[in-house]
Structure 1
C-alpha cells in the first residue's frame, strides 16, 4: 500500500461477519482508538495484521473483549467513517445496508430482524436499553448519528446477557467518548430532495455540528458533541423537524487502572406535521377501488410529496439521559459498571384518516378525526460485570459474570375525537391534498388520564470461554425475573410475574490463524407486554412468555493475503407461544395465544469484503430468509417485511495520486408481504464522492440515485408510506 494512498485516503474496512456499510477508514484513527481503549484485556494482536475487519474488538455480542473472529455469532459492526460515507442521519439509514434487517415499517420502534419483529428493547445505547421516544406512544426514536462512534447489530436473540425482550436481535449504538489527544471539528450537513414530485431543491435540511475532545487536565478528558437542525424539512410538504441535541462526557483517570466517565445527553425535537398516523400517501389501487377486491397490490404511489394531515399537526419530544461508567483493571480481571437514567416527555396532535369513519377504498374524499397522545417515560438501568482470565491445568478460562437491572415506567394516554363530531368537518381530497377542511382540535382531548405501566427486571448471567488448543467452548447460564404492572385511575391495576433460567452454548475452532469455524445456540425470552394483556387479554387465559431458540453455524476468515475477508452464517430460529390480536367483531380485538412451537426462521447470511487493489474495494452482503408460521391461518406464509432475498453492494475507488474517492452502492430486496398485500421488490442505488485533506473533508452523497418510487409500508388501512425520494447530501467537516 503506497504512502501516497495512506496519506490522502481512508482505506475501506469492514467486519467480515456482515458489515452493513462500506466506506473508508483512516489507519491513524484506528491507532488512536486502540491506544485510548483501556478495556481490551483480550484483544487479539497478530503481527502484520491491523485490528480491523474480523480482527476488530467489539463487546456487544458477548460483553467480553473479543475480536469479532473469535465471537461465535453473526455480528455487524459499522464505524463512524462508514456512517459518514453513506450520509446516514439515523440508525434506520444505517440498517439499509444490513441485509437481515428491515426497517420499512411505520413506527421507529418496529424493526424486523430475521423475520422476527423486535420492539424498543432491541435498541441500545452503550449496551443499555434505549428509551428516547419518538412521537408520543411510539417508543424508541431511531437514534441520530451525531454522537455515534459505531453501531453494532447482533442478529439473533441473547437473553442471557440482555434479559427479556431482545427478539430477533439487537442494535447497539456506541457513543463517542473522550480522547487523550485534542481535536475539534466543525461540521455542516445538508440534505436536499431532488425529484419531480418534491419540487427539486424545494425541500431541504441543514444541520450544523461540533465535535470537540481532549484533556482538560492531566487526569481529566472531555468530549462535547452538539448538533442543531433548525426547520429540517422532510420530503412531504408540510412536515419538518426542529431539533437540538448535545452530548457531553468526561473521563476521570483515577490512578493507572481506574476510569470513571459520566455522560449527559439532551435532545429536544419539535415536529411540524404528523406522526405515523398520518404521514402516509395514497396509491393508485386505493383510488381505483381495486385494493383487496381485484388485486393484492397497493399499486403505484400517486404523489410522495402529498401530506394528508392538517397544518395544525405537531409534536414535541424531549429526552434527557444521565449515564455513568466506571471501570477498574486488576492484574487479570476488569470490573465494569454502567448505569443510566433516561427521561422522555412527548406529546402529539394529529388529524388523520380514520378507518372508523367509513371505508375509503375508491372514495375521492377522506374523512379524518383528531387524536391526541401524551407520554412520560422513565428508564433506570444498571449493568455491572467482572471478566477475567485464569487457568485450571491445561484449560484456559475467560469468564464473565454480572447482573443487569432495569426499571421502565411508561405513562401514556391517547384520546380520539368522537366520530359524530369529526364526520364531515375534517375532509381532504384524495387527489388534491391542499383541498381540505379542518377544525381546531378539541381542548377536551388534552385532558389525559394516564395509564402507568411499570416493568422491573433483574438478570443474572455467567459465561465461561474454555480453551484447549485450537478449540474454545463457550457455556453460559442466566436467570431472569420480570414483573410488569399497569395502573389506571379508571381501570384499577394489573400485574404479571415471570421467571426463567436461560442457557447458551457455543464452540469456536481455529482452523488456521486466518480462519475460524463456529457453532452456537442462544435463547430469547419475551413476556407479553403488560399493556397489551390489559387491553386485549381474555379473562381466565394464562398467557405464557414467547420463547425462541437460535442456532447458528458458520465461519469467518481472511483469504488470499487478506484480499478477501468473508463470513458465512447459517441460522435457524424457532419460537413458541406466539400471540395475535384477533378481531372478534364489534370493533373489539382479543389476544389469542398458540401454544407450542409455531414460528420458524431459517436462512443464510453471506458477507464478503474484496480488496481488489489498494485503491478498489468491494463489499457484498447477501441474506436469504425463510420465515413463517408453522400453524394457524398463516402457516407457510412469509413473515411481514421479510423478503426472501436481500443484497447490498458497496464499491469504493480511491485515486492513487489525489485525495479523492468515489463509491457506488446498491440495496436490493425481493418481494415481501405487508399484511394481506404484496410489496414489490426493489433496487436502489447510492453514489458518493469524497475529497479529504489534512483539515477539510468534503463529501457529496446521492441516495436513491435513480429516484425509484415505491411503497415501503402501511401506517393504517388507508394510507401507505413511501420511500425517501432522491436526495443530495453535502457534508463539510473542518478540523481546527
Structure 2
C-alpha cells in the first residue's frame, strides 16, 4: 500500500460554515466519463479540498467512489474544519446551516428533511445506523462532534443502499481514522451564554480534548485516539448541565499493498442534571394570557427562556459503547469493503414535567401548572453489517461502474416507562408560570422504577445492485434492491406481536455532460418504511391491516462551475409523494393509529446553492430551499407540514487577510414561519460571527452564535410548553499541536 493512499488530506484553507453545504451539494445523477482504473474506495477517507469544488471526491453517502459533481443526488457535506469554524457541539448545530433539515423538539428524536418526518435512526455513523440513545430521553441527542471527520447529508430517499426507513434522507457521520503522518493536538473550548436573561457569563461550558494519530509500528500499524472531557457543561437554562466523557480509539493494520483492517472502539458516558429533554421547555405570552387558539394561533414571545420548568431532582444517564470493524481489499479493477458494528446503549431518565394530561387539568392561561413524574429506562442493542464490491469494466462500447452489496441490521430495544398517577401528583408538584423558582415538588415515587421491559426486535436484510453505464456524454444509472423486514415486540405483560414485510426497490438516473464543467441530471429513488412494531402494538386498531409507507423521490437539475471556477452552483428541483401515511386520531377516547391508503402526502421544492469567489480573500456561500409539503387528503389537506418552512436561507461570508494569519466570517440563518399542529412557529433570522487566528502550532478562534440574541420559540413538545432557541453564546476554541 502506497503512502499516498493513506496521506492525510490537505487542510481546507477556506474554512466557512457553509463551505461544503454549497459546494458539496452535488445533484448530478450517475456520472459522465468513467476511467478504467479504480481509485480509493475507502468510505471513510476524505480526499476532497475546497479548491476542487464540485470535483472533490466523496463516497460517504452513495457508497460509490465518485466526485461530488458526478454524484446522482443532492448531497451536503461538511468537513471537520468547517465544523470547527461554526463551533458546532453536535450534529444538530451543523444541520442549522442545511436549509432542508429541521428538528421538532429538544429531544432531537424527530428530524424533518424536505418535509418528510424521520428520526435519529437515520443518523448513520460510518454508513451504519449506530443510534446512541433511544426513547429514554437522555440518550435522544444528536451525536457529538468531538470525533467527527465530516458529515454528509443526503436529501431524499435511498432505500436501495440503506434499506427501510430513509424517506426524508440520511445524515452520515464519518469518524476520524488513523493517519500515517504523526500529529497530536490538545484542545480547550468554552461556551458562555452572553445574554441578559442568562445573567451574562453565569452559564458556561468547558471541554478539554486530545486528538493523536500516527504510526504505531513503522508504517504497518497506525493509530488514532480522540477523547473529550466535559466535567460540567452548563446549559443556558438554570439548573441544567451535562457531565460527559467520550473516547474514540482505532487502529489500522496495513496488510500487504492492498489490504487494510481498522477496528474502532468508542465509549460515551453522559449524565444530565435538570432534565433529560423528555418534556422540558419554557412558557410563552400567549399561553400565559390565554389567547392561544382563541384570539391568536401564534405562541407569542417567550416569558422565561433561561428557566427550566422541571425540578432540581430531574436527571438522566446514558452509557454507550461501540465496537466497529472495517476492512478493505483492493484488486486490479475492484475494491471489496466490509464494515460491521455492535452498539449497546443503556439509559435512564426521571423527569417532573408539566403534562398535557387531561387528568391534571392544566389549561391555557393558567398561572400555576400541575406536574407529574415520569421514569424511563432502556437498553438498545444494535448489530450492523454492510459489505460490498465496487468495480469498473467495459462491454463493447459501454463503460460500467458497478456496486453490489448487502447490509444487515438487527436492533433490539428494551424499554420501560411509567407515569405517576394524576391523583398522587395534583397539588404536590406545582410551578408558577411567571416565576419558575416558585415551585413545590416531591420525591419521585420509587414504584415508578418497578416494572418489566417491553422488548422490540427488528431484523432487516437489504441486497442492492447499482450499475452506471456510460456512453460518450451520457450516463445511465440503474439500481435494484430487495429488502426484508421482520419486527417483533414482547410487551411487559408477555403478550407478543410480530410483522413481516418485503419489497423490491428501484432507482434510476441519467446524466448528460453539457460541457466539461456542467452536468444536467434527472433521478428517481424510493423509500420503504414499515410501521414501527412498537407503534402498532400500542396504537394499532384491532382487525386493521397496516401497509408500509412508501415514497417516490424525483430530482431534476444541474451542477456546474462558471466564470473560471469563480462560481460553483447547483440547482435541484425535487418532487416526493408518499403513500399509506399513518397518523394518530382519538377514537372512543383512545389514541389510535389511522392509515390513509394511496397517495397521502406530497413535497415539492427547489434547492439552490452557490459558492462565489469574489476575490482571493473574499468568498460567499449561499444555500436556499423552497419546500411546499402537505397532505393530499384528509382534514389537513393542503396545510403546510409541521416544522417545514416554505423558505430557508443560509449565507456564509468569509474574508481572509492577505498578509496576516487571520480570517473573519459572518453567517446568517433564516427561515419563514412554520406550523406546529394548530399553531404557528414564527420565522427568524439569526447571525453568527467568527474570528480565526492560525499559526504553525496554535489555532485560536472566537465564534459568536446568535450574535443579536434573537429570542424565539423554536418548537413545542406539547401544547403546554414551548422550546426556546439558544441565547447568544461566546465560543472560544484553543488548539495546540505538539
* TM-score of the superposed pair, with normalisation by structure 2: 0.94
Q: Match for residue 298 of structure 1? A: 299
Q: Which residue of 2 aligns with 1:106?
A: 106
2:614 corresponds to which residue?
Answer: 612
CA RMSD of aligned residues (A): 2.0
Deviation at 1:62, TM superposition (A): 1.9
The residue that corresponds to 1:33 in the other structure is none
Q: Helix, strand or coil for the counterpart of 1:212? A: strand
- C-alpha distance in 1, partners of 2:351/2:42? 49
Q: Aligned partners of 2:341, 2:425: CA distance in 1, in Å? A: 43
Give the corresponding residue for 2:394.
Answer: 391
User: How do 1:15-414 and structure 2 match up within 5 A?
Assistant: 18-19=21-22, 38-39=40-41, 52-133=52-133, 136=136, 140-218=140-218, 219-356=220-357, 357-414=360-417
- CA drift of 1:717 comes to 1.9
Residues 1:178 and 1:44: Cα distance change in structure 2 (over 3 Å): closer
Is 1:57–1:65's contact at 8 Å kept on the other side of the alignment?
yes
Equivalent residue, structure 1, for 2:662: 660
User: Any conservation in 1 of the 2:137–2:277 contact (CA below 8 Å)?
Assistant: no
Higher deviation after alignment, 51-60 or 113-122 = 51-60
Counterpart pick for 1:503 among 497, 503, 506: 506
List aligned pairs for 1:380-459, cutoff 5 A: 380-459=383-462
Q: Counterparts of 1:312-711 in structure 2 under 5 Å?
A: 312-356=313-357, 357-586=360-589, 588-711=590-713
> How many angstroms does 1:45 deviate by?
11
Q: Retained in 2: the 8 A contact 1:21–1:94?
A: no
Q: Which residue of 1 aligns with 2:34?
A: none
| Distance in 1 separating the partners of 2:40 and 2:172 | 20
Helix, strand or coil at the partner of 1:310:
coil
Structure 2 portions without partners, runs of 5+: 1-9, 26-38
SS at 2:60 equivalent: coil
Inter-partner Cα distance in structure 1 for 2:15 and 2:492: 57
Shift, 1:363, TM fit: 1.1
Q: 1:207: Cα distance to partner?
A: 0.5
Distance 1:519 1:247 in 2: 40
Report deviation, 1:107. 2.4
Q: Distance in 2 between matches of 1:635 and 1:270?
A: 43
For 1:608-635, what per-residue CA distance to the aligned partner results, in whole angstroms no more than 9, with x for missing partners?
0000111000000000000000000000
Q: Could you say what secondary structure the match of 1:303 adopts?
A: coil
**Cα deviation, residue 360, structure 1:** 2.8
Q: Is the 8 A contact 2:58 2:65 kept in 1?
A: yes
SS at match of 2:202: coil
CA contact (8 A) 1:247 1:264 kept: yes
Structure 1 runs not aligned, ≥5 long: 1-6, 23-36
- Following the alignment from structure 1 to structure 2, what is the Cα–Cα distance between the partners of residues 241 and 713? 22
How many angstroms apart in 1 are the aligned matches of 2:349 and 2:521? 48
Partner SS state of residue 645, structure 2 = coil
Distance 2:267 2:482 in 1: 34
**What secondary structure sits across from 1:441 in the alignment?**
coil
What are the superposed Cα offsets for residues 191-247 of structure 1, whole Å, 9 maximum, x if unpaired? 000000000000000000000000001200000000000110000000000000000
CA distance in 1, matches of 2:138, 2:533: 16
The separation in 2 between residues aligned to 1:497 and 1:617, in whole angstroms, is 52
Give 1:21 deviation, angstroms. 10
> Per-residue displacement from partner, 1:533-570 (whole Å, max 9, x unpaired)?
00000111110000000000111111111100110000
**1:121 positional shift:** 2.4
Kept in 1, the 8 Å contact 2:244–2:271? The answer is: yes
Deviation for aligned residue 1:140: 4.8
Report if aligned partners of 2:20, 2:78 keep a CA contact under 8 Å in 1: no
Cα separation, partners in 2 of 1:229 and 1:389, compared to 1, 3 Å: same
Partner of 2:732: 730
Whole-angstrom distance in 2 between the partners of 1:590 and 1:521: 34
How far apart are 1:355 and its partner, in Å? 1.6
Distance between the aligned counterparts of 2:419 and 2:64, measured in 1?
Answer: 48
Once residues 16 and 291 of structure 2 are traced to their aligned partners in structure 1, the CA distance between those partners, rounded to angstroms, is: 49
Counterpart CA distance in 2 for 1:12 and 1:571 is 29
Deviation of 1:44 after TM superposition, in Å, equals 13
Is contact 1:235-1:305 (8 Å) kept? yes
Aligned residue for 1:265, secondary structure, equals strand
* Counterpart Cα distance in 2 of 1:8 and 1:147: 16
How far 1:109 moved relative to its partner? 2.3
Inter-partner Cα distance in structure 1 for 2:195 and 2:524: 47
Change beyond 3 A, Cα 1:376–1:8: closer
**Relative to structure 2, which stretch is displaced further, 136-145 or 458-467?**
136-145
The answer on whether the counterparts of 1:553 and 1:569 sit within 8 Å (CA) in structure 2 is yes
Aligned pairs, how many? 712
Deviation at 1:641, TM superposition (A): 0.3
Separation of aligned partners in 1, 2:462 and 2:13: 41
TM-score with structure 1 length normalisation? 0.94
Cα distance, 1:475–1:17 mapped onto 2, change above 3 Å:
farther
In structure 2, how many angstroms separate the alpha carbons of the residues matched to 1:67 and 1:272? 45
Q: How many Å separate the matches in 2 of 1:498 and 1:280?
A: 39
Q: CA deviation at 1:60?
A: 3.0
- The 2-side partners of 1:16 and 1:248 are apart by 28
Cα drift, residue 50 of structure 1: 7.4
SS at match of 2:117: strand
Q: 1:19 to 1:143 in 2, by over 3 A?
A: farther
- d(CA) in 2 for partners of 1:639, 1:716: 17
